Amino acid sequence: MRMGDDREVLVTGLGAITPLGAGVEAMWEGMLAGESGVGRLGEEWPADLPVRVAGTVPVDPLSLLGRVEARKWDRCEQLAMIGSREAWQDAGRPEVEPERLAVVIGTGTGGILTTLGQDDVYERSGARRLSPYAVPMLMPNGPAAWVSMELGARGGARTPVSACASGAEAIAMGLDLIRAGRADVVVAGGVEASLHPFCIAAFAQMKALSTDEGDPRAVSRPFDAGRSGFVMAEGAGVVVLERAGFARARSARAYGRLAGAAVSSSAHHITASDADGQVHAIRTALRDAGLEPGDIDNVHAHATSTEPGDLAEAQAIAQAVGGHAAVTATKSMTGHMLGASGAVAAVAALLTLRDGMLPPIRNLDRPGPGIDLDVVRGGSRAGNWSAGLVNSFGFGGHNAGLVVTREG
């Protein structure tokens, strides 16, 4: 049933696989403890790589999936399926008409591992040795397509590709689909699996990655005066969104409301962060949620650990929200999961509402100049958290903001 005036959207399911573990609770336990999922790359990686650390998921995805089927999937499709299955199970497997169920899963690079791997096969062995599954494995819409087939979702399978804002933008798109009356339930999130020598070397050439050769667990240090670049990571985060009336009719448990969302484009620089565009996204998301800046009590920052990026975001938060909100940055523990990062941050923000705990920023010894925020360090912070902001930004000037609140 379509309810055009029903703008309330609840989050009823969560799923994740990250460098902190397979499953939401493993990830959350690691975040609250301030642990790190970043490690040193093994000897099998090329010796000339300028970066030797990354955040990898600690389990073989095939061990969590049917091996025969999963071998047809790129690693990003495997991770998306793991996160989606957990979120769907967590939501209680809603019984919804197929035409009222949609899937939106964003990614920055899609099946880049397949693209590069199959190119190697072609160069080495010729055209006849290519996999017949190469195209469905490499296409960026593959994760959303496979999940839609798994769930029988016929309300649309969409794929925002907006660099590191992809996962958050997917969740914002899911909110729009429900509010527009086009779906009752949307499985939304983001995924990335691009840990390959080419990708690492390419980011390193941009001077975006840290080349710190010390303890891998200490390399990702958002907002810290000694930050030197981000750490690449892989993972997936997925949420199940439901029209509130639909969720309540089936007595579904909810983690909270997706109260508002917004996207903006900075139109400023292909890679450099821009505080003005971020401010616009944050303020628009707050208006969409019907909230004032003072209502936001916690912020899950994008905060990748690059010097200019963190500074621009700190300025944007101070300008759009103010200095009263407590700010965390979970990339200090997971590394930067690129297109998955915003969705994983949204999962963490909803768990903050559930448990009243805000994870600390690992490795934040001394905030850098211009970081005039109430940053959480030294341990998780307990609080009566009621409204959280999730920031997510990407190369190309993509900005996304999500606002989550307690139900009711």
pTM of this structure? 0.97
Contact yes or no for 367/223 (Cβ under 8 A): yes
Closest to 316 measured CA to CA, from 400, 217, 408, 213? 400
Kindly report the CA angle at 149 between 144 and 150, in degrees rounded to 5? 95
d(CA 320, CA 300): 14
280 in active site: no
State the pLDDT at residue 273.
Answer: 84
pLDDT tens-digit profile of 327-349? 999 999 999 999 999 999 999 99
Q: What does the DSSP assignment read for 226-240?
A: T---B-BB-EEEEEE
**Is residue 31 over pLDDT 60?**
yes
CB 94 within 8 Å of CB 252: yes
Please write the tens of the pLDDT for every residue from 345-396: 999 999 999 999 999 999 999 999 999 999 999 999 999 999 999 999 999 9
pLDDT for res 4: 39
Residue 183 near residue 245, CB atoms below 8 Å: no
| From 76, 164, 300, 398, active-site residue | 164
Per-residue pLDDT, 384: 97
199 is catalytic: no
Q: 196, 280, 300, 336: which one is catalytic?
A: 336
Instruction: Determine the average pLDDT of the residues in 242-258.
Output: 98
Contact 286, 319 (CB under 8 A): no
Q: What tens digit of pLDDT does each residue of 94-122 get?
A: 999 999 999 999 999 999 999 999 999 99
- Of 196, 280, 300, 302, which is the active-site residue? 302
- First CA to last CA across the chain, in angstroms? 22
